[in-house]
A and B are shown apart, each in its own frame.
Chain A
């Protein structure tokens, strides 16, 4: 079974631009979560989607948004990029049936904002 995939793996953008990151969950998984990871802040929760609905949301500004499609694939968008948005963006999926709530992570997208 294929794991969680994320595209692109690396991205360099300029301050003020916007970016869209993509995540394909493990087949059959219905929940997708997004995280930002930086050396100073660790893993920070962005949002979680379940069956195309945003179920949980972290404390990030409105510049960060996401969506989930009917096939469970998800995208996140960051508008008006700032230098501080440089980070590893991780996507994780889970099946969410009884006893199977664990999350599996993708390899991440490393975003550099210059």
Chain B
């Protein structure tokens, strides 16, 4: 079993839809959680970072962490064609390497 599980998609939604991306994990030592967006042939771009359970909002993006269920989510409101990319969840424990999900490919249809 992988430490981090992420549905690879692809996920196709109409413009303006709310997108929900999810990851589950098994390592209780994970304390820090990140979401990255990666466009084709580019480096990943950090979107959200959190280290506590609950919600964190930044513009159209909301990151949700439930440590008791070992489950994290990223919500994108009012999705735009420019949001079409691969989204990677990532997590780490203190002093540990970062472990990534396999990424979910998202396509927002105009």
- Residues of chain A at the chain B interface (Cβ within 8 Å): 4, 33, 42-43, 45, 48, 50, 55-56, 58, 88, 90, 92, 99, 101-108, 110
Question: Which segment of B12-20, B45-53, B70-78 sits at the interface?
Answer: B45-53
Q: Which 4 A-B pairs have the closest CB atoms?
A: A102-B49, A56-B97, A105-B43, A101-B32
Whether B51 pairs with A101 at a CB distance below 8 angstroms is yes
Query: In whole angstroms, what is the CA distance A22 to B84 when docked?
Result: 30
| Residues on A with beta carbons closer than 8 Å to the beta carbon of B43 | 4, 88, 90, 105-108
Which of B90, B94, B102 is close to A103, meaning CB atoms less than 8 Å apart?
B90
B36 at interface (Cβ–Cβ under 8 A)? yes
The answer, yes or no, to whether B56 is at the interface (CB within 8 Å) is no
Number of interface residues of B (CB under 8 A): 24
Query: Please, which residues of chain B bring their CB within 8 A of the CB of A103?
Result: 34, 46, 90, 98
State the Cβ distance, A91 to closest chain B Cβ, in Å. 9
Instruction: Evaluate contact between B94 and A105: CB separation under 8 angstroms.
Output: no
A98 CB → nearest B CB, Å:
10
Complex alpha-carbon distance, A79 and B36, angstroms: 31
- Nearest A residue to B103 via CB reads A42
Q: How far is the CB of B10 from chain A (nearest CB, A)?
A: 14
With both chains docked as a complex, state the minimum distance between the C-beta of B69 and any C-beta of chain A, in angstroms. 22
- CB pair B34–A102 under 8 Å, yes or no, is yes
Interface string of B29-46 (1 = CB under 8 A from A): 001101010000111111
